[in-house]
């Protein structure tokens, strides 16, 4: 029992002594029947870690299931580029492009099977979504709840609609409660944080906890090496609170971490919390007891703003705070994902007037803006819906000669920051806004979720003059170069340099190497000079092989260099 002492303590904290003891028996049973207990043989992270984010059917080919198409494309073009692939929810679902799961244990037959998932896992590490906050209203679980079957009576969270729930943090402008009729004829109002089709799970029930721990371990068994805890911030509900980031929510993350430490310590947890920075990093816990990684949600909108005004001051100031106390944690750096560009992480960083500037650019570039409902009944921007590629289009210049260069410069900054970088498939493929998709679904987020034909993509990549080709191949080389540099280890020390407001500059270093990564975020030619005790008069740009006189050189518009004192 000694090995389960931490788990026991957490269950007691969450459920009390009696209920916690019962929960412990259930969880020990699941742990004991788990097939293998591994030991962590290496550090969690290295500079070789780069994650591709994609839906299972982002690429499609006639006569072939989508997961095989993805696997074939990844093996041909991405084998030595990405270390891991995050396959967004690939389970049977009823809405929200996969995040309203009907069956956690099955693969959507239109995508493939568990055999196809495991085959991909032979060539890449895999990241799965554990959608633990809610389940589809079309699921067998919810059907059993409505039937009041044993073990499912407390699956959902029932609430009296007359109770004041105005304090509850709302991520969307939709009703918090949805009415359903049980098979007995009784009408109940259940908690639906994200939509009427997404039934919040009641983690106050140890039956629910047992079911989700079983799913957790099942995903590990199927080859998951990273588990993304979707919408984790909203997990635990207490009427009279804002129901976000509650202590019991953190306890559940700790519990899942403790279970994995027992059975699969190599498997990492990443928390998805699209919230202001301080709230976001709270999911690191004490550095060893919660998530190994958190999404760096502030990066995408702040990077967007910095390029919009051609000034890196706010970005540089924020980046100075990216220090972590523990070497077992790091940031998950991304600029685009299947969702839009979240703007809540800019609270306390940008004024409403500055936010309005970003909204104006998004609308000018064909994007949309999604809003959330506040406790006072008002609405405020929640996310900007646009491909990250088109967010950086300058329509005022007519033909934007810098479009691809500007976008690649944003990605270069992402890849030099401390943390593990992740790239959305539509970013590396240079995808534009999918207007047709938005018209079809009437969902703003669809603009960034186009389903691509593999033959069309390959044809465009083979054309060196195509926009996709001008993004894809330089992007590939950027990643390959980064992976060779020990100074870009996710937890290697760094220093933000003050050179010019139009240049984002960071120094990354380790025992064997120092890199000065400079990015011109403007449309101007900027004169640059490096100084310091360890700055050599001449340094080599790792990206091009060109030698630079560090005392004086010019960065062309949206040019970036990685100057090193060692040839690795």
Instruction: Kindly list the distances between the CA atom of residue 212 and the CA atoms of 4, 6, 49, 54, 190, in Å, as whole numbers in the listed order.
Output: 18, 19, 28, 24, 19
**Residue 333: per-residue pLDDT:** 98
Give 453's Cβ-side CA count (13 Å radius): 6
Q: Give the Cα-Cα-Cα angle 507, 508, 509 (nearest 5 degrees).
A: 120
Average pLDDT over residues 232-260: 97
Adjacent-strand bridge partners of 372: 380
Average pLDDT over residues 444-466: 97
Asked if residue 534 has pLDDT above 90, the reply is: no
**Residue 276: per-residue pLDDT:** 87
Contacts of 467 (CB under 8 A, 6+ apart): 403, 404, 430, 432, 460
Cβ atoms of 144 and 152 closer than 8 Å = yes
CA 499, CA 555: separation in Å to the nearest integer? Answer: 12
| Phi, psi (deg, nearest 5) at residue 194 | -105, -35
Quick one: which H or E segment has residue 173?
none
Q: Give the Cα-Cα-Cα angle 405, 357, 528 (nearest 5 degrees).
A: 40
Asked if residue 568 has pLDDT above 50, the reply is: no
Q: How confident is the model at residue 261 (pLDDT cuts 50, 70, 90)?
A: very high
Average pLDDT over residues 540-564: 96
**Residue 43: per-residue pLDDT:** 82
Active-site pick, 108, 116, 129, 230: 230
Q: DSSP code of 395?
A: G
Q: How confident is the model at residue 377 (pLDDT cuts 50, 70, 90)?
A: confident
Q: How many residues make up the chain in this entry?
A: 568
Cβ atoms of 93 and 124 closer than 8 Å = no
Asked if residue 567 has pLDDT above 60, the reply is: no
Q: How confident is the model at residue 457 (pLDDT cuts 50, 70, 90)?
A: very high
230 is catalytic: yes
- Tens-digit pLDDT profile for residues 110-156: 999 999 999 999 999 999 999 999 999 999 999 999 999 999 999 99
**Residue 397: per-residue pLDDT:** 67
Average pLDDT over residues 508-523: 96
Could you list the beta-strand ranges (E) of 13-113. 51-54, 59-60, 84-87
Q: Give the Cα-Cα-Cα angle 279, 284, 287 (nearest 5 degrees).
A: 140
Residue 425, token pair as written in the block: 């498939």
Quick one: which H or E segment has residue 177?
strand 177-181
**Fold that domain 494-564 belongs to in CATH:** Immunoglobulin-like (2.60.40)
Asked if residue 267 has pLDDT above 60, the reply is: yes
**Residue 40: per-residue pLDDT:** 67
DSSP letters, 93-158, are BSSGGGTSBS-TTS--TTT--HHHHHHHHHHSEEEEEE--SEEETTSHHHHHHHTT-TT-TTSB-B
Asked if residue 404 has pLDDT above 70, the reply is: yes
**Residue 303: per-residue pLDDT:** 98
CA 226, CA 204: separation in Å to the nearest integer? Answer: 26
CA 447, CA 207: separation in Å to the nearest integer? Answer: 38
| Phi, psi (deg, nearest 5) at residue 248 | -65, -30
- Tens-digit pLDDT profile for residues 13-65: 999 999 999 999 999 999 999 886 666 667 899 999 999 999 999 999 999 99
Q: How confident is the model at residue 102 (pLDDT cuts 50, 70, 90)?
A: very high
Q: What is the mean pLDDT of the chain?
A: 95
Quick one: which H or E segment has residue 309?
helix 299-309
**Residue 41: per-residue pLDDT:** 64
Asked if residue 395 has pLDDT above 80, the reply is: no
CA 91, CA 56: separation in Å to the nearest integer? Answer: 10
CA 415, CA 402: separation in Å to the nearest integer? Answer: 20
CA 553, CA 267: separation in Å to the nearest integer? Answer: 45
Asked if residue 92 has pLDDT above 70, the reply is: yes
Asked if residue 68 has pLDDT above 80, the reply is: yes
Cβ atoms of 394 and 485 closer than 8 Å = no
- Tens-digit pLDDT profile for residues 310-365: 999 999 999 999 998 888 999 999 999 999 999 989 989 999 999 999 999 999 99
**Residue 37: per-residue pLDDT:** 66
CA 23, CA 37: separation in Å to the nearest integer? Answer: 21
- Domain ranges within the chain, ordered by starting residue: 494-564
Adjacent-strand bridge partners of 453: 60
pTM: 0.96
Taking residue 405's Cβ as centre, other Cβ atoms within 10 Å add up to 20
């Amino acid at each position: 029992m000694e090995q389960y002492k931490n788990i026991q303590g957490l269950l007691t904290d969450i459920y009390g002594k009696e209920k916690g003891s019962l929960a412990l028996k259930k969880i020990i049973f699941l742990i004991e029947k788990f097939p293998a207990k591994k030991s962590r043989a290496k550090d969690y992270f290295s500079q070789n870690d780069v994650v591709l984010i994609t839906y299972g059917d982002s690429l499609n080919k006639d006569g072939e299931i989508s997961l095989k198409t993805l696997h074939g494309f990844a093996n041909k073009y991405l084998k030595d580029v990405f270390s891991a692939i995050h396959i967004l929810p690939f389970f049977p679902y009823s809405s929200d492009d996969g995040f309203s799961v009907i069956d956690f244990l099955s693969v959507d037959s239109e995508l493939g099977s568990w055999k196809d998932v495991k085959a991909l896992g032979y060539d890449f590490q895999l990241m799965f979504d554990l959608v633990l906050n809610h389940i589809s209203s079309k699921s067998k679980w919810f059907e059993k709840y409505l039937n009041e079957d044993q073990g499912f009576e407390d699956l959902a969270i029932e609430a009296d609609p007359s109770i004041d729930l105005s304090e509850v943090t709302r991520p969307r402008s939709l009703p918090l409660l949805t009415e359903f009729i049980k098979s007995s004829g009784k009408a109940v109002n259940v908690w639906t944080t994200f939509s009427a089709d997404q039934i919040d799970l009641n983690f106050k029930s140890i039956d629910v906890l047992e079911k989700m721990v079983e799913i957790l371990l099942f995903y590990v068994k199927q080859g998951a090496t990273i588990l993304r805890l979707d919408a984790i911030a909203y997990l635990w509900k207490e009427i009279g609170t804002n129901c976000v980031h509650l202590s019991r929510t953190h306890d559940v993350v700790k519990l899942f971490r403790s279970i994995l430490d027992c059975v699969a310590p190599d498997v990492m947890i990443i928390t998805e919390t699209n919230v202001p920075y301080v709230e976001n990093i709270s999911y690191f816990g004490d550095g060893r007891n919660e998530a190994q990684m958190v999404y760096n949600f502030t990066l995408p909108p702040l990077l967007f703003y910095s390029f919009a005004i051609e000034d890196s001051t706010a970005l540089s100031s924020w980046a100075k705070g990216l220090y972590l106390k523990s070497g077992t944690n790091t940031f998950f750096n991304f600029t685009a994902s299947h969702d839009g560009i979240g703007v809540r992480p800019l609270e306390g960083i940008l004024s409403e007037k500055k936010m309005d500037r970003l909204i104006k650019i998004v609308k000018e570039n064909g994007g949309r803006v999604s809003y959330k409902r506040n406790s006072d009944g008002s609405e405020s921007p929640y996310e900007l819906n646009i491909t990250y590629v088109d967010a950086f289009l300058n329509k005022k210049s007519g033909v934007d000669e810098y479009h691809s260069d500007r976008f690649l410069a944003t990605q270069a900054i992402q890849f030099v920051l401390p943390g593990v970088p992740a790239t959305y498939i539509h970013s590396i493929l240079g995808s534009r806004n999918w207007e047709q998709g938005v018209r079809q679904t009437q969902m703003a987020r669809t603009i960034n979720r186009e389903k691509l034909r593999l033959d069309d993509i390959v044809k465009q990549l083979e054309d060196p003059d195509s926009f996709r080709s001008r993004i894809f191949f330089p992007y590939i080389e950027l990643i390959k170069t980064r992976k060779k540099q020990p100074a870009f280890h996710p937890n290697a020390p760094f220093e933000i340099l003050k050179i010019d407001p139009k240049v984002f500059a960071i120094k990354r270093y380790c025992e064997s190497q120092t890199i000065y990564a400079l990015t011109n975020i403007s449309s101007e030619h900027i004169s640059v000079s490096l100084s310091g005790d360890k700055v050599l008069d001449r340094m080599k740009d790792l990206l091009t092989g060109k030698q630079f006189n560090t005392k004086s050189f010019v960065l062309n518009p949206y040019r970036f260099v990685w100057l090193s004192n060692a040839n690795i």
